[in-house]
């Protein structure tokens, strides 16, 4: 029997199912369930701040203990839970959803005593047996019936005047949002703003003196540090679980992902809840789990607080995010690419294209390698994207690039980043040409006007079109495919118009002692650099 694949799940959603499909919605609340009341575990002890008391307008924090000072495992987490839990909330959302029409019921003869039974369970009625008569449409078989649906999640208060942080997927599409505090108090909430890129939303309730918590420095969290997760798993009310920081800097699916991985038990319904360090500071927002069955297996992901704090600040100020925009297409510098470009190490972000925008205005060129941004070294393209996003719009930022072995200083005035990004097109199929030649594991031919029209590129483009790629070649392993166009080669990226041009650049790179050559590839008009091995066997 094949093993069930592990699935990345948002951690809100009801985990009653048996690993049916990836969960993408928040936890569905039982329709007939009575309103949640505060349980003894949720009730605030007499010495614990309650809703309505902002603790002298100071954030809640961990009590001073010897274990906290020594950064060792405490005998109990109870003091920490008691101190910060009043700021953790349950979130209930309500939305009108369309109930899918259910078909495929058995064909029953008119007047059958089973007709009512199957109709009550939503199966399609026999033809002509709808409640509106022979010509009417049956609501059980022909169309869905809109209904109100509730869902549950978690969140936490970050200010005495009622700002609440949660996940965007917890409140997305909701008609109404209700916040429940640990003492059972409920308040209506409004959405201040949300950011699907980081899955963060900021809510606001009408209040002046709520207990609240603050963000800590997620960059200071170390692998092995103790953490505490609080939330509303499976709609059970406030629950605590502990674990350690298992890893940092995890990427899932987003451009700005910076997740803390933890083995603290996180389940569906925990979405939007806080991950605390031992000082009672929020270092992450619980967002997703990796699971083969919908339940916790000790692999949970919390968006790092340093990312969240930046997003929340912009949502509170503008109601939306405002990220810096450099205006370049970039890719990582691989070891092969570093060798092809004559670099000592694989670092920085390689500029594949410079369309009209801030970078072009500052004189940046395709083939440049961005090695510093705002005075800080750039390790890779992901680090650059985050640095640019956090930089202020409209300010001139110093940028250093490596160009043909020389360092060039530029000042780039950042614009506002385009949120919508175009998807790349799939590989095209090219008609065989009689002029094709073999090189680097590829069948190449000069780009003609007819082939350019076939590929949907400018008739004036020059280069070599890839007609086929040997499956076991380095070109295939680097993703080069039929329909790609080689427009340049070498450290200086001189144009390549014929196979002789490419052969000359390969010889030049070998004579310089390099084992790879950089090729400038165009796919459906989108450029990128690829380094191919030229080592002679």
Determine, yes or no, domain membership for 307.
yes
pLDDT greater than 60 at residue 36: no
Mean pLDDT of the residues in the chain = 77
**Same domain? 334 vs 312:** no
Grouping H, G, I as helix, E, B as strand and the rest as coil, residue 49 is coil
Domain boundary among 416, 449, 476: 416
Determine, yes or no, domain membership for 23.
no
Determine, yes or no, domain membership for 252.
yes
**Same domain? 266 vs 306:** yes
pLDDT greater than 50 at residue 35: no
CA distance 97 to 144: 10
Q: Report the percentage of the chain scoring pLDDT > 90.
A: 31
For residue 426 the two structure tokens come to: 């799939």
**Catalytic (active site) residue 472:** no
Residue matched to tokens 């007819």: 450
Whole-number Cα distances in Å, 457 to 207, 387, 452: 59, 34, 5
Determine, yes or no, domain membership for 406.
yes
For residue 228 the two structure tokens come to: 């505490």
Which of 10, 159, 169, 257 does the annotation list as catalytic?
A: 169
Where do runs of H (alpha helix) occur along 299-411? 305-318, 335-340, 358-362, 381-390
- Higher-scoring residue by pLDDT: 221, 483: 221
**Same domain? 274 vs 311:** yes
Q: Which pLDDT does position 70 carry in this prediction? A: 56
The tally of domains found in the chain comes to 3
Residue matched to tokens 């175009």: 422
**Same domain? 443 vs 395:** no
- Higher-scoring residue by pLDDT: 106, 17: 106
Determine, yes or no, domain membership for 253.
yes
Q: How confident is the model at residue 10 (pLDDT cuts 50, 70, 90)?
A: low
Q: Domain holding 346: CATH number?
A: 2.30.42.10
**Same domain? 375 vs 467:** no
**Same domain? 401 vs 485:** no
Q: How confident is the model at residue 140 (pLDDT cuts 50, 70, 90)?
A: very low
Q: Which pLDDT does position 416 carry in this prediction? A: 83
Dihedral sign computed on CA atoms, order 163, 165, 170, 173? positive
The alpha carbons of the chain give a radius of gyration, in whole angstroms, of: 29
Whole-number Cα distances in Å, 258 to 60, 218, 285: 25, 10, 11
**Same domain? 328 vs 296:** no
What's the domain range around 407? 324-416
Q: In this predicted model, what pLDDT tens digit does every residue of 304-361 receive, in sequence order?
A: 999 999 999 999 999 998 888 888 888 888 888 888 888 888 899 998 888 888 898 9
CA distance 28 to 13: 6
The region of weakest confidence among 95-99, 159-163, 402-406 is: 95-99
Do residues 181 and 85 make contact, with C-beta atoms less than 8 angstroms apart?
Answer: no
**Same domain? 513 vs 447:** yes
pLDDT greater than 60 at residue 80: yes
CA distance 312 to 295: 29
**Same domain? 307 vs 358:** no
**Same domain? 329 vs 309:** no
Determine, yes or no, domain membership for 157.
no
Domain boundary among 286, 318, 350: 318
Determine, yes or no, domain membership for 501.
yes
Q: In this predicted model, what pLDDT tens digit does every residue of 266-289 receive, in sequence order?
A: 888 889 999 999 999 999 999 988
- Higher-scoring residue by pLDDT: 513, 10: 513
Q: Which pLDDT does position 495 carry in this prediction? A: 83
Do residues 8 and 23 make contact, with C-beta atoms less than 8 angstroms apart?
Answer: no
DSSP state of 314: H
**Catalytic (active site) residue 217:** no
Which of 10, 12, 194, 199 does the annotation list as catalytic?
A: 199
The region of weakest confidence among 8-12, 139-143, 200-204, 214-218 is: 139-143
**Same domain? 379 vs 294:** no
Determine, yes or no, domain membership for 402.
yes
The region of weakest confidence among 58-72, 226-240, 522-536 is: 58-72
**Same domain? 269 vs 252:** yes
Q: Domain holding 300: CATH number?
A: 2.40.10.10
**Catalytic (active site) residue 390:** no
Q: 20 exposed, middle or buried (CB, 10 Å; 0-12, 13-18, 19+)?
A: exposed
Count of positions (residues) in the chain: 537
Grouping H, G, I as helix, E, B as strand and the rest as coil, residue 55 is coil
Grouping H, G, I as helix, E, B as strand and the rest as coil, residue 7 is strand
Which of 149, 271, 381, 516 does the annotation list as catalytic?
A: 271
Q: How confident is the model at residue 259 (pLDDT cuts 50, 70, 90)?
A: very high
Domain boundary among 254, 283, 318: 318
Q: In this predicted model, what pLDDT tens digit does every residue of 471-498 receive, in sequence order?
A: 888 888 888 888 888 888 876 667 888 8
């Amino acid at each position: 029997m094949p093993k069930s694949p592990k699935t990345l799940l948002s951690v809100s959603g009801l985990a009653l199912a048996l690993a049916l499909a990836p969960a993408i919605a928040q936890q569905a609340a039982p329709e007939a369930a009575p309103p949640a009341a505060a349980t003894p575990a949720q009730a605030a002890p007499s010495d614990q701040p309650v809703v309505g008391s902002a603790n002298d307008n100071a954030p809640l924090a961990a009590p001073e203990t010897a274990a906290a000072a020594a950064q060792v495992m405490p005998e109990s987490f109870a003091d920490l839970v008691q101190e910060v839990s009043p700021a953790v909330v349950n979130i209930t959302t309500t939305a009108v959803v369309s109930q899918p029409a259910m078909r495929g019921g058995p064909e029953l003869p008119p007047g059958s005593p089973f007709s009512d039974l199957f109709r009550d369970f939503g199966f399609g009625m026999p033809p002509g047996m709808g409640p509106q008569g022979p010509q009417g449409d049956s609501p059980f078989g022909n169309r869905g019936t809109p209904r109100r649906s509730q869902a549950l999640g978690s969140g936490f208060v970050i200010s005495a005047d009622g700002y609440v942080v949660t996940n965007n997927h917890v409140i997305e599409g909701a008609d109404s949002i209700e916040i429940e505090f640990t003492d059972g108090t409920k308040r209506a909430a409004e959405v201040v703003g949300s950011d699907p890129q980081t899955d963060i939303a900021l809510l606001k309730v009408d209040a002046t003196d709520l207990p609240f918590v603050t963000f800590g420095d997620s960059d200071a969290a170390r692998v092995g540090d103790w953490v505490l997760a609080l939330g509303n798993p499976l709609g059970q009310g406030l629950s605590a679980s502990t674990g350690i920081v298992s890893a940092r800097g995890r990427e899932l699916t987003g451009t700005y992902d910076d997740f803390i991985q933890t083995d603290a038990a996180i389940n569906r319904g925990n979405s939007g809840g806080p991950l605390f360090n031992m000082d009672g500071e929020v270092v992450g927002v619980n967002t997703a789990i990796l699971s083969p069955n919908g339940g916790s297996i000790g692999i949970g992901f919390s968006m790092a607080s340093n990312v969240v704090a930046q997003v929340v600040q912009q949502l509170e100020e503008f109601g939306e995010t405002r990220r810096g925009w450099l205006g370049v297409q970039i890719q990582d510098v691989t070891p092969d690419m570093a060798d092809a470009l004559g670099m000592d190490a694989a670092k920085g972000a390689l500029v594949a294209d410079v369309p009209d925008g801030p970078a072009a205005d500052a004189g940046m060129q395709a083939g440049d390698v961005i090695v510093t941004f705002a005075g800080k070294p750039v390790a890779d393209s992901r680090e650059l994207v985050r640095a640019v996003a956090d930089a202020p719009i409209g300010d001139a930022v110093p940028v250093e690039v490596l160009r043909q072995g020389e360092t060039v200083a530029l000042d780039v005035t950042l614009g506002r980043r385009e949120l919508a990004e175009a998807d790349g097109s799939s590989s095209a199929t090219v008609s065989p040409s009689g002029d094709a030649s073999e090189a680097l594991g590829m069948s190449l031919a000069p780009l003609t006007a007819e082939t350019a029209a076939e590929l949907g590129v400018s008739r004036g483009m020059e280069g070599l079109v890839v007609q086929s790629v040997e499956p076991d070649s380095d070109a295939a392993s680097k993703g080069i495919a039929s329909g790609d166009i080689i427009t340049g080669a070498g450290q200086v990226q001189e144009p390549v118009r014929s196979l002789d041009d490419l052969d000359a650049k390969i010889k030049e790179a070998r004579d310089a002692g390099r084992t790879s050559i950089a090729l400038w590839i165009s796919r459906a008009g989108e450029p990128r650099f690829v380094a191919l091995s030229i080592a002679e066997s």
